[in-house]
Amino acid sequence: MDKKFYRNIEDVLRGIDASRSAEDMLRETLRQIVAVCAEQYGIESGRLYREQDDQFTLIESVGEYGESITGMTVSRDYPVVKELLQRRLVMISPDSPGFDPEIEYRFSHFNYAAVLVGEAPSYIMSFGIRRGDDDGDLHFILETIRTAVGLKLRQSSLENQLRQAQQIQQSLLPRRLPELPGFDLAALSIPAEEVGGDVYDAQEVEAGVLCLSIADASGHGLPAALQARDVVTGLRMGMTEEHKISTTVRKLNRVIHQSGLVSRFVSLFYGELEETGSLSFVNGGHCPPLLFSTAGEVFELPSNGPVLGPLPDATYRRSFANIHPGEVLVMFTDGLVERKRRDPDADPPDVEEYGVGRVIATVQAHLHRDAAQIVAALIESVRVFGSNASWEDDVTVFVIRRLTKREYSPKSVLDAVSRRTSPLQQVGD
């Protein structure tokens, strides 16, 4: 009986949507247990009570008196309830100490078993049972229900927390990237788990100027997502206070260090892009973005400071670049370049990473396309390279393409001065 009954309870709970509220889930669990277990295990009725101040209120009744008794209450001081609060599991009959027929027969004429589940508020699940000769079986049924329902509640709570974290993270990503005259922007972030540590952002600072960022909190999952949230919040606060980008990053680094998560860090690329194509940036230990020129050259925008978090007094200096018409800037996180392809037949097994070289080749093959198509081409290339396996790390790509004069001819903006305001490292030098 033991294994079969537990499987039956598992089947009942598996079919209940954990995304529902705890109370709705308990109501449905009660109904299903009565429906499934009535004939074989003698469970004839079920009742669900919610804790409320100094009493428990009946909120669901299945079988016997049905809905006609919902809303009735029983005091926490009733001896049977006091015993349940202490032991969390009781079996009740007219022979039980403290049994009061005037109270009990308002709810049921069956002997019954009850379990206490949940916290703040607590709930009582009570089952009217045809009493058999074996109290051991009854006790096992009760303990199985209590354990399984408790696990389901904890699972539901964790899943709800993850859903909330997903909502928080999604709220941080811009629903729509802002427009900058003469530029085409597109981005995509794919978490390896339900939530991740990658984040990107683009916000208008003033007319003709955007703040751009891409960050990668170490690890993935909920802790990384929470730290990524702090990064976006800190950067946006820096924008509203009109700090220089180097000052904003320095202050953010100190905040992350003081969070106490010394084992964690954040890499960050943060820049201001003007309508003229001028880009000032700070790169705090992030994968160097790649700037693709129309002449076939590829330049890196290298780090000019360490990752954020470990060093409280780290300094960050600004660097400068210029994006010319027809050029493309590609920002990404290390989940892209570190995507792995495994050959299990090799001896020893061979593991190869996607690498920067493949990023360059893929982007160069699609330079004439719009930003969204370049993002899609990169993601598809990396996905196929990894044999369509699940993502081992969060992956984010952010592409900025400056339109050519043919594609965009602003009437009110002079052509940008054709120069780079600081030397950049060309890939392959």
Instruction: Determine the Cα–Cα distance for residues 118 and 50; give it in Å rounded to an integer.
Output: 10
Q: What is the pLDDT of residues 88-113, one digit of tens each?
A: 888 888 989 999 999 999 999 888 88
- Name residues whose C-beta falls within 8 Å of residue 66's C-beta, 6 or more positions apart in sequence: none
- State the average pLDDT for the chain: 84
3-state secondary structure of 425: strand
For 39, other C-beta atoms within 10 Å of its C-beta total: 9
Q: Which of 413, 410, 426, 428 is nearest to 278 (CA)?
A: 413
- Which ranges constitute the DSSP H helices of 365-410? 371-385
For 397, other C-beta atoms within 10 Å of its C-beta total: 28
| DSSP code for 295 | T
DSSP letters along 123-161, please? Answer: EEEEEEE---S-HHHHHHHHHHHHHHHHHHHHHHHHHHH
Can you give the pTM of this predicted structure?
Answer: 0.66
Q: What is the pLDDT of residues 295-331, one digit of tens each?
A: 999 999 999 999 998 888 999 999 999 999 999 999 9
Q: Which of 80, 84, 83, 89 is nearest to 146 (CA)?
A: 89
Which domains are assigned to the chain?
Answer: 2-162 (3.30.450.40), 173-426 (3.60.40.10)
Supply the pLDDT for residue 161. 65
pLDDT at position 171 over 80: no
Supply the pLDDT for residue 166. 67
- Least confidently predicted of 124-128, 219-223, 323-327, 411-415: 411-415
Q: Determine whether 273 is exposed, middle or buried from the number of CB atoms within 10 Å of its CB (0-12, 13-18, 19+).
A: buried
Q: What is the pLDDT of residues 28-72, one digit of tens each?
A: 888 888 887 766 777 889 999 999 989 999 999 999 999 999 999
pLDDT band at 294 (very low <50, low <70, confident <90, very high): very high
Q: Give me the amino acid identity at 102.
A: E
Supply the pLDDT for residue 416. 41
Give residue for tokens 């790390």: 393
Q: How far apart are the first and last CA of the chain?
A: 73
- Least confidently predicted of 166-170, 204-208, 270-274, 372-376: 166-170
**Residue 291 — φ and ψ, nearest 5°?**
-110, 115
CB-CB contact of 224 with 396 (8 Å)? no
* 184's tokens: 């085409």
Q: Which of 281, 147, 172, 290 is nearest to 227 (CA)?
A: 172
Q: What is the CA radius of gyration of the chain?
A: 31
- Crossing angle of helices 245-258/222-240, nearest 10°? 140
Per-residue b or e along 43-76, where b marks 16 or more CB atoms closer than 10 Å to that residue's CB:
bbbbbbbbbeeebbbbbbbbbbbeeeeeebebee
Instruction: List the Cα angle 248/199/396 in 5-degree steps.
Output: 130
CA distances from 273 to 181, 183, 213 (A): 11, 10, 11
CB-CB contact of 94 with 100 (8 Å)? no
Q: What is the pLDDT of residues 414-428, one digit of tens each?
A: 444 343 444 456 665
- Name residues whose C-beta falls within 8 Å of residue 368's C-beta, 6 or more positions apart in sequence: none
Instruction: Determine the Cα–Cα distance for residues 384 and 9; give it in Å rounded to an integer.
Output: 42
